[in-house]
Structure 1
């Protein structure tokens, strides 16, 4: 589970990172990151209706949240990341989501944090 202090919940935060942050895309996810956006490392998730019904969206969100929870402590302080799931995430395996997320994080985070 992602700790409350690591959750990005306000719309303004999502907007700021999505518009001004660095972006990397893979087949199942798009990752936006802004290195100096806040106090501690935080993450937010966007899983729209194009991914699937509520059950599918929640499963994808849980998988992504679990993957990020294991990596967020290694990010530099102040880094804010928004992970947006693409429709392919609905049928992707956990391993595929993990490899796509890691590839995107390597591209948007500083070298020592990715």
Structure 2
């Protein structure tokens, strides 16, 4: 949760965009649980959640803001992103849209 709010909302937008596209699972959990998409997911399972933590409260608030469409950090055709400290080969064939915090976002 070290990313700025704008970056966290952008990641949430990518998850929502993917679920709306025909290229990924149609649920947010399905998108997040896909292999090699989020480092905190292990073998398709979420870690134990401390529901009393500040991080959980913040994550829920970000999810609500994104779900209600109160902000659109990125256009709906942005389906890919990665951290700026890695350079995946697929990034070269996509169109870079924006860098927010430590993440770079792309569209086809």
Please say whether Structure 1 and Structure 2 have the same fold, judged by a TM-score greater than 0.5.
no
More RCO (CA 8 Å, sep 6+)? 1
Q: Which has the higher helix share?
A: 1
Rg larger in 1 or in 2? 2
Q: TM-score, normalised by structure 1?
A: 0.28
